[in-house]
Amino acid sequence: MKKDKLLIIEDDAELRTQMKWGLGKDYQIYQAEGRFSALEILKNEHPLVVTLDLGLPPKTDSTEEGFQTLVDILGHDAMAKVIVITGQHEKENALAAIGRGAYDFLSKPVHLEDLRLIIARAFHVARLEREHRELQKQAAGDVFEKMLGTSPQMLKVFEVIQKVANTDAPVLIQGESGTGKELAARAIHSRSARCKGPFVAIDCGAIPETLLESELFGHEKGAFTGAHIQRLGRIEASQKGTLFLDEIGELSPHLQAKLLRFLQEHQIERVGGRESIQVDARILAATNRDLDQALKDGRFREDLYYRLGVLVISIPPLRERNGDILLMAKAFLQRFSSENQKRLETFTAQAVQAIKRHTWPGNIRELENRIKRAVIMADGTRVKPEDMELNVLGDGFKGQSLKEAREALERDMVNQALDRNNSHLTRTASELGISRPGLYDLMDRLGIKR
């Protein structure tokens, strides 16, 4: 088992060594002599518990640097449990440290047994706190195994994932490009009894057929020119775990037949081999094109289709997930701006409109990429439509008559003006440059409730 990480901040080398010696059996110890090296370790290793000597250099007789270190640690990770170690008769400093967010204190000379006890309890509390936060996040319904979503469509998908995870049957995951098929496959794996085993993904559309066979099934030495050594395939690599076959519709007839045999008998033969090898792997497959059409055209075997599609999950395109688009856009904005040390906080009202109007042919991958670009391009604190290279009008007007487009625009403008004016009708009318009765008529015609 992996040991928990403990950071010891102490300028006295002798004391540091003693502590490491006394605690190293139970914890993975990191040591720092001062504030900067401590913060470096904190950022890279994320220890849950820290012991902090308050009298740090440059002025070891004052607690100034020690307190600053405490503030910096908690500023970086508010949930870190900091145990402050003070000189004798420094109760006041100890209490001041608690007041600033330290978890507990201990006075020198440090008795190892006391320290051990306090540290063990600190780890316990730290873990509980983090678990609690995870649960809260999940209860908020925003995220399920890294998948964001609160729309009824996605809640349904999460429910189905949860159900199928408990079985061992193959699952066929359908959805347009970039809708999160692989993420769904990973969610099924991590919620299944196989979660401790490997998750192996292979994109059948990205590998030429000649290579794909040995990639999937492996080969024996000398099986073909260039096969200098024996090689295990991805199917064997997913022993006791899950194999995710992406773009299953791209499989050639030959490989479809081989895969079918594996699904029926749970056995494979390596290319150029004679021996049958037993493999216990669960199969998940994904397709972004209409497999039905491939079936009709005879490009995909029906018997394989029925084997793979015992359970089917359809992931809806982004444009059909009401509310999720903005939820995700905001989450991506937060993630990328902190990754890029930018201070982008929100989207302008126009940017929100543009996001809502766009039809997102590339789905979530496209949303992610546009926001990544926006974070790099944008100045100031708010993202504008141009930063995402989205047209203010969006492409939402494509294929509409002029009348429909005009009404859509009018509806947006009236709704926005109502929002800005807290539904105060006189002010809204005046902002839009129309009379109050004119606004009433317009709202009735557009079906906006008063």
Ligand X SMILES: Nc1ncnc2c1ncn2[C@@H]1O[C@H](COP(=O)(O)OP(=O)(O)OP(=O)(O)O)[C@@H](O)[C@H]1O
Binding site for ligand X (CB under 6 A): 147-149, 175, 177-183, 246, 288, 328, 364-365, 368
The rounded distance, in Å, linking the Cα atoms of 252 and 274 is 22
Nearest distance, CB of residue 258 and ligand X, angstroms: 23
Nearer to Mg ion, 34 or 362 (CB): 362
Nearer to Mg ion among residue 104 and residue 182 (C-beta): 182
Q: To the nearest whole angstrom, how small is the minimum distance from the Cβ of residue 204 to ligand X?
A: 11
Task: Using the structure block, give the residue that is written with the tokens 């420094």.
Answer: 90
Dihedral of CA 163/166/167/168: which sign? Answer: positive
* Shortest distance in whole angstroms from residue 182 CB to ligand X: 3
In the complex, what is the shortest distance from the CB of residue 371 to ligand X, in angstroms, rounded to a whole number? Answer: 11
What is the spatial distance between Cα 156 and Cα 142, in angstroms, rounded to a whole number?
13
Collect all residues with Cβ–Cβ distance below 8 Å to 42 and sequence separation of at least 6: 7, 50, 73, 76, 77, 80
Contact between 366 and Mg ion per CB under 5 A: no
- State which H helix or E strand residue 414 sits in: helix 402-420
The DSSP output letter for 319 is: G
Footprint of Mg ion on 189-248 (CB under 5 A): 246
65 three-class SS: helix
Out of ligand X, Mg ion, none, what residue 148 binds, judged by CB under 5 to 8 A for its kind, is ligand X
Q: Does 182 bind Mg ion (CB under 5 A)?
A: yes
In the structure encoding, which two tokens stand for residue 413, read together?
A: 């403008």
The SS3 call for residue 83 is: strand
Helix (H, G, I), strand (E, B) or coil at 84: strand
Q: What is the Cα–Cα distance from 356 to 319, expressed in whole angstroms?
A: 8
Minimum CB distance to ligand X, residue 362 (Å): 8
Q: What is the CA radius of gyration of the chain?
A: 30
Q: Per CB under 5 A, does 407 bind Mg ion?
A: no
CA 319, 324, 326: angle at the middle one, nearest 5? 95
Quote the Cα angle for 137-143-146, to 5°.
115
102: partner contacted, choices Mg ion, ligand X, none (Cβ within 5-8 A by kind): none
Residues in binding contact with Mg ion, number by CB under 5 A: 2
User: Which one of ligand X, Mg ion, none interacts with residue 396, CB within 5 to 8 A by kind?
Assistant: none
Q: Which is nearer to ligand X, 149 or 396 (CB)?
A: 149
Terminal alpha carbon distance of the chain: 62
Which one, 182 or 412, has the nearer CB to Mg ion?
182
Q: Quick one: 4 or 182, whose CB is closer to Mg ion?
A: 182
Smallest separation (angstroms) from ligand X to the CB of 356 = 18
Closer Cβ to ligand X, 160 or 268, answer by number? 160
Cβ neighbour number for residue 114 with a 10 Å cutoff:
11
Residue closer to Mg ion by CB (options 90, 368) is 368
Q: Compute the least distance from the CB of residue 189 to ligand X, in Å.
A: 13
**Closest residue by Cα to residue 8 from 61, 49, 67:** 49
Residue 57, amino acid: P
Nearest distance from C-beta of residue 173 to ligand X, angstroms: 8
Name which of 86 and 192 has its Cβ closer to ligand X: 192
- Residue 235 binding partner per list ligand X, Mg ion, none, with a CB distance cut-off of 5 to 8 Å that depends on partner kind: none
Name the binder of 358 from Mg ion, ligand X, none, CB < 5-8 A by kind: none
What sections of 77-225 are H helices per DSSP? 91-99, 112-139, 152-165, 181-190, 209-217
CB nearer Mg ion, residue 185 or residue 279: 185
> From residue 162 to residue 181, what is the string marking binding to Mg ion with x (rule CB under 5 A)?
--------------------
Residue 316 CB, nearest distance to ligand X (Å)? 11
Which residues contribute to the site for Mg ion (CB under 5 A)? 182, 246
